[in-house]
Amino acid sequence: MDNATILMMRQRNVRCAMARDLMNGKCFAGGDAAHRNEAIKAWESVAKCDRLLK
């Protein structure tokens, strides 16, 4: 996978993770365990992209 594709995927993951964090905090009083775990997975995907870019 080339860097341009990884950067695009990283940006999508950042937007997803931020949206999940916002939604959990604003709409669900922090979210339940399942929703918090999905937010964590999204941030882990960002970290994976960061590792691939090094």
The mean per-residue pLDDT over the stretch 2-18 comes to 98
pLDDT at res. 30: 83
| Spatial separation of the C-alpha atoms in residues 23 and 11, rounded to whole Å | 18
How many C-alpha atoms does 16 have within 13 Å on its Cβ side?
A: 17
Please state the pTM of the whole predicted model. Answer: 0.89
pLDDT at res. 17: 98
Q: Where are the alpha helices (DSSP H) in the chain?
A: 3-27, 33-53
Q: Residue ranges per domain, the chain?
A: 3-53
Question: pLDDT for 14-54, tens place per residue?
Answer: 999 999 999 999 887 888 899 999 999 999 999 999 999 99
Residue 5 confidence (pLDDT) above 90: yes
| Spatial separation of the C-alpha atoms in residues 43 and 10, rounded to whole Å | 10
Name residues whose C-beta falls within 8 Å of residue 19's C-beta, 6 or more positions apart in sequence.
none
